[in-house]
Amino acid sequence: MKLATQSAWPFFLVPLVVLADQLSKWSVLAEPRLNALNCLNGMEYCGRIVVPGPLDLTMTWNRGMSYGLFQSDGIGRWILAGVMLAIALGFLVWLVRAEGRWLKLALALVIGGAFGNLIDRVRFGAVVDFIDANGLFFPWIFNVADAAISVGAVLLFVDQFLLSRPKQANNL
């Protein structure tokens, strides 16, 4: 199946999301005040940087999925990584077959975010989370990949349930 140039943009967006996510995490891992690598084993305190505005930088390691669900170590880490990979690949197949800008955008964001977090899970056994929106009364700490997945999921919902119109039967 040959992809037309005008329909290939989602396949360029996926690595851009991964790159943005990994660059932001690289910055966090390199910041000594966040003590990221030293707190990976849970024996040391992870750091926090208070910045003006509603967002702070608070380093945490998420060993589970979104919002800390399904925390796992050991073999569970690899099972979780396998599940995440299977889901991302399933969405990638969906993206290849997808029609419509909003659907392609949604799927590209979800896939890019999934691969960004998968890289962390394989590399560290946990995902780097650092965006603390507690000033906005949002209790979870997240990252760029999580944000992409969340925005993609909302767009997917909008596309599938609000923008899609049922196809009319030809024989009416």
Q: Residues 6 or more apart from 142 whose CB is under 8 A from it?
A: 129, 131, 133, 150
- From CA 124, how far away is CA 121, in angstroms rounded? 6
Q: Quick check: is 129 catalytic?
A: yes
Cβ-contact 116, 18 below 8 angstroms: yes
**Helix extents (H) in 31-74:** none
Catalytic residue among 21, 129, 132, 159: 129
The radius of gyration of the chain's CA atoms, rounded to the nearest angstrom, is: 18
Residue 100 CA: distances (Å) to CA of 9, 83, 106, 111, 155: 12, 27, 10, 17, 12
Q: Quick check: is 73 catalytic?
A: no
**Beta strand ranges found along the chain (DSSP E):** 48-49, 56-62, 127-132, 141-142
Catalytic residue among 21, 120, 132, 146: 146
Write down the residue that tokens 């394989």 correspond to: 122
Active site residue ranges: 129, 146
